[in-house]
């Protein structure tokens, strides 16, 4: 019997894959487990294609704290997600076993120790899951996640959505902060130099030389003004050329969105992307060999009507669809 489907007819979920409860027959969306999209916990499945890992850590923030409450907020915002992804024509959790690995037990008192705990948790998670999507947490967490991804895949082409470079050398002399993860990652040889890109940079910098410092690390930059003037498709094309078929890690700081779309974040910057622009940019990355991802800097004390939580959950759904479409 053929497994092929035609338009309008979708594949049944294989019996081995456990998905969320059916919201029209079993359990309404406002009830049920507090896992991401009410998916199974990792200990309820034999093996996961994708593990969703909460990292409730915000000791690396430089401005407004609170992203330690990001994971629970994103999970709460994910209850409305439905199986079929319209933009990429795929059912992520029909095609992939996705499971929620819970939260890392991470100290709020020592950043270096916390980074070690996150790296250990991520590395051990690879025994049960092929890839990780992390729910932050502030952007500091990208460093240990990139270390774990690099151990499996070698140098990574980073696609970094953010209002900020996060490639400073230090803040108040501290080298491990949410403003420095990609400087450390490039120094440690985790990134494929010349194949990384920032998208969404805007507003103000300490100095014009920040651009040059960043470029020397191997990043290209697509600013929000570039996107406004030249459009989404050109931005997508630049980024796809840049990563050149290397293993891709997508890191999404939710402050890449305008505060009108995502007010609940630690370092808000006006003039950001709309949620729809971010969707189009992400959908444009379909087919790339994505190996890991994170969504960070959701700080729910500043949220209104779950705007940020819903946007962040939607970004994770886009990332899951990208995993389902990767080549």
User: What's the rounded Cα separation, in Å, for the pair 262 and 275?
Assistant: 8
Tell the smallest beta-carbon distance from residue 297 to Mn ion (Å): 6
Choose, by CB under 5 A, the member of 164, 202, 242, 261 that binds Mn ion.
164
What are the distances in angstroms from CA 107 to CA 90, 111, 115, 300?
38, 8, 9, 20
Choose, by CB under 5 A, the member of 163, 243, 309, 315 that binds Mn ion.
163
Choose, by CB under 5 A, the member of 119, 166, 277, 303 that binds Mn ion.
166
Nearer to Mn ion, 50 or 256 (CB): 256
Is residue 74 within 8 A of residue 254, CB to CB? The reply is: no
The 143-162 contact track toward Mn ion, x by CB under 5 A, reads -------------------x
Tell the smallest beta-carbon distance from residue 268 to Mn ion (Å): 9
Nearer to Mn ion, 100 or 162 (CB): 162
Q: Is residue 57 classed exposed, middle or buried when 0-12, 13-18 and 19+ CB atoms within 10 A define those classes?
A: buried
Please identify which residue in the block is written with the tokens 């939710």. 254
From 30-38, 81-89, 219-227, 248-256, give the range in contact with Mn ion by CB under 5 A.
248-256
Is residue 157 within 8 A of residue 196, CB to CB? The reply is: yes
Tell the smallest beta-carbon distance from residue 202 to Mn ion (Å): 10
Backbone angles phi, psi at 223, to 5 degrees: -80, 165
199 contributes a contact to Mn ion by CB under 5 A: no
- Reduced to 3 states, what is the DSSP secondary structure of residue 53? strand
What does R_g of the chain's alpha carbons equal in angstroms? 19
Nearer to Mn ion, 253 or 294 (CB): 253
- Reduced to 3 states, what is the DSSP secondary structure of residue 167? coil
139 contributes a contact to Mn ion by CB under 5 A: yes
Nearer to Mn ion, 48 or 157 (CB): 157
Tell the smallest beta-carbon distance from residue 165 to Mn ion (Å): 8
68 contributes a contact to Mn ion by CB under 5 A: no
Tell the smallest beta-carbon distance from residue 62 to Mn ion (Å): 10
From 44-52, 117-125, 129-137, 250-258, give the range in contact with Mn ion by CB under 5 A.
250-258
* Residues between 75 and 104 that touch Mn ion (CB under 5 A): none
Tell me the site size for Mn ion, rule CB under 5 A.
7
CB atoms within 10 A of CB 241: 11
Tell the smallest beta-carbon distance from residue 182 to Mn ion (Å): 9
Choose, by CB under 5 A, the member of 255, 277, 294, 318 that binds Mn ion.
255
Is residue 192 within 8 A of residue 156, CB to CB? The reply is: yes
Tell the smallest beta-carbon distance from residue 112 to Mn ion (Å): 19
Is residue 188 within 8 A of residue 197, CB to CB? The reply is: no
Q: Closest Cα to residue 297, out of 254, 327, 268?
A: 254
Residue 137: asked if its preceding bond is cis (omega within 30°), the reply is: yes
Nearer to Mn ion, 40 or 266 (CB): 266
Strand partners, 79: none
Nearer to Mn ion, 93 or 165 (CB): 165
CB atoms within 10 A of CB 98: 31
* Angle between helix 307-325 and helix 70-77 axes, rounded to 10 deg: 80
Which residues of the shown chain bind Mn ion in the complex (CB under 5 A)? Answer: 139, 162-164, 166, 253, 255
């Amino acid at each position: 019997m053929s497994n092929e489907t035609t338009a309008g007819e979708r594949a049944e979920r294989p019996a081995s894959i456990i998905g969320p409860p059916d919201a029209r027959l079993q359990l309404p969306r406002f009830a049920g487990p507090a896992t991401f999209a009410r998916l199974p916990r990792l200990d309820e499945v034999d093996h996961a294609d994708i593990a969703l890992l909460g990292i409730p850590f915000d000791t690396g923030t430089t401005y407004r704290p609170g992203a330690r409450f990001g994971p629970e907020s994103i999970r709460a915002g994910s209850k409305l997600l439905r199986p079929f992804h319209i933009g990429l024509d795929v059912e992520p959790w029909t095609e992939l076993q996705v499971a929620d690995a819970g939260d890392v037990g991470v100290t709020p008192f020592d950043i270096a120790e916390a980074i070690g705990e996150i790296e250990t948790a991520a590395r051990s998670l690879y025994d049960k899951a092929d890839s990780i999507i992390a729910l932050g947490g502030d952007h500091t967490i990208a460093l240990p996640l990139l270390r774990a991804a690099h151990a499996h895949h070698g140098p990574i082409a980073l696609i970094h959505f953010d209002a900020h470079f996060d490639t400073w050398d230090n803040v108040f002399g501290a080298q491990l902060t949410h403003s420095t993860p990609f400087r450390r990652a490039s120094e440690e040889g985790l990134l494929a130099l010349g194949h990384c890109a920032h998208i969404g940079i805007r507003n103000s910098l300490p100095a014009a030389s920040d651009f040059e410092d960043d470029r020397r690390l191997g990043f290209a930059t697509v600013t929000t003004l570039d996107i406004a003037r030249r459009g989404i498709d050109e931005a997508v094309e630049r980024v796809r050329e840049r990563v050149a078929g290397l293993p891709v890690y997508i890191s999404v700081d939710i402050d890449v969105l305008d505060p009108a779309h995502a007010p609940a974040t630690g370092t808000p910057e006006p003039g950001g992307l709309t949620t729809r622009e971010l969707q189009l940019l992400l959908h444009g990355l379909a087919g790339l060999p994505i190996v890991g991802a994170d969504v960070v800097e959701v700080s729910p004390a500043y949220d209104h009507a779950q705007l940020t939580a819903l946007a962040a959950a939607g970004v994770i759904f886009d990332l899951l669809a990208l995993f389902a479409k990767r080549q």
